[in-house]
Amino acid sequence: MKNKILLLLILIQVSAKAVTWKVGAAQTYTTPSAVVNLVGNGDTIKIDGGVYLNDPVIWIKKDLVFIGLGTGSNRTIMRWNAGDIANGKGLWVFANSAVTGNATVDNIVFEGARVSDPNGGNGAGIRYQAKDLTIRNCLFNSCQNGILEGGGYSNAIVTIQNSEFYNNGYEFIGNPSFSGYEHNIYISAQTDSLLVKNCYFHDPRGEANSLKTRAQKSYILYNLIDEANGQGSWEVNIAQGGLSVIIGNTIIQGVNSINHGIVSYDAATNPIEDFYFMNNTVINKYTSTSFRYFSVIPTSGINKFKIYNNIFAKALSASMSNFISGTLGPALDSMANRILPNYTTVSFMNAAANDFHLTAGALSFINNCATAGAASNGFSLLPLNEYVTFTTSLAPRTMSGPFNDIGAYEYNSGVGTNENFSPGDQISVYPNPTNNYFIVDLNNNSFTNSMMIIYDIVGKEIKREKISESKTIFHHNLPSGTYFYSILSGPKKSDGKFVVQ
């Protein structure tokens, strides 16, 4: 009884502070811009499916949550097709780090953002210059930049999960005067931590990087990065050094690549210079006379450049000039990698269809991983998951023998996975930010055998709690900081983030 009274008091207190706004053709407010001056800190904006045409918005509050309710052929789409975006930045802009921050954007499409070269040439689906950003289940399509983060808060944390990036970059393919500064994702050095997990990057245009980061710490985990038929540059560009952890990705350079290199690590001004590349499957399909898997310039100042348990395979007619361009000396630590001359003859399940699961013929890969240990900050370098598709959760990576297998997939690994909760399920954790308690609200979904798992910023599990009611109060004594969580309920799963003040 006491818990129910406490819950009622908390709900009354929280409801007085936060408002849910509904946007859509059949709603009182028909466009996002119609509510921009009405929303308050901590509010939720739910946007019906449909196309919201030429409606750029500069959001001016913090702790906002945006949920697109569209599904299937009626997704929630922010589309631009009217020349330059008037604000010179993007479809959605979070511009003032002193006012805005900690935004969450879920299940929304950003399409067609552009700004002409004389006005900056950096039109973005989301332009973020504030503290903390979480992106989930979104699509960034045909923008100059999908997400452009820069000029914001020096300790920002950017989290991007279960999202797709398609056809982003400079719009005039083959035009020799293109500026080449536009990418699927660009993250500035002011960001403390970047997490990109379970995303799909494909078909960039111009000289776009699939992923470019200058963040102090970058965690790139279990993604499919496929240049496909696009005309792009680096698949992964670590543009200013830093602590970089890249695990369990499938990375494919396409047949029309411009740069003829796959990973770039530029040791520059970030204080930490540690690079970890573990259990990735890297395929070069570009049939150039010379290419390299890694470019490291300059090499001075790098403490650790660790490459373990990866598959590197190229097209037969491609000639590799250097595995790594740049002399790393004692910083290089390379072990248990497989460097192969023809990816079509490797014992993959179906290389032509980009299915790089291992078959029984891949004997030199199976049970042959070296022990990778942990990064310098304690982050485990053991692969825990496998990419299936960005629209579902990651599959657990289960060893098929006494040791892990080389590459992004285990031999005989299953494809079973949890189905994500849909946006309409409205799973929520609040208040957020929190002090010493939070509420997990399953919105009357089944809570049989439900559990909440809490992770710290480097992905280490720190707490498990059983969910005993559809609305469950958890008291905690967690230190101040940012935490991630997974809610497992039957066959469904929901991921999110909360802040302890």
More confident residue, 244 or 208: 244
- Answer whether residue 195 shows pLDDT above 50: yes
79: β partners = 53, 111
Residue type for position 501? Q
Q: For 404-446, how does the pLDDT look when each residue is reduced to its tens digit (9 = 90+)? A: 999 999 987 544 344 555 555 667 888 888 888 888 887 766 6
pLDDT of residue 298: 78
pLDDT of residue 300: 78
Q: For 46-86, how does the pLDDT look when each residue is reduced to its tens digit (9 = 90+)? A: 999 999 999 999 998 999 999 999 999 999 999 999 989 98
- Answer whether residue 198 shows pLDDT above 50: yes
- Answer whether residue 172 shows pLDDT above 80: no
- Answer whether residue 403 shows pLDDT above 80: yes
User: In the structure, what pLDDT confidence band is assigned to residue 143 with cuts at 50, 70 and 90?
Assistant: very high
Helix residue spans in 198-250 (DSSP H): none
User: Which domains can be identified in the chain, with CATH numbers?
Assistant: 19-354 (2.160.20), 427-500 (2.60.40.1220)
The mean pLDDT of 323-335, rounded to a whole number, is 90
pLDDT of residue 449: 64
The mean pLDDT of 134-155, rounded to a whole number, is 89
- Answer whether residue 492 shows pLDDT above 90: no
* Residue 483 contacts residue 453 (beta carbons within 8 Å): no
Can you list the pairs that 52-56 forms with residues at least 24 positions away whose Cβ atoms lie under 8 Å? Answer: 52/76, 52/77, 52/78, 52/79, 53/79, 53/80, 53/81, 54/79, 54/80, 54/81, 54/82, 55/31, 55/91, 56/80, 56/85, 56/86, 56/87, 56/90, 56/91, 56/92, 56/93
Q: Which range is least confidently modeled, 6-20, 234-248, 371-385?
A: 6-20
Torsion region of 355: left, alpha or beta (phi above 0 gives left; psi -120 to 50 gives alpha): beta
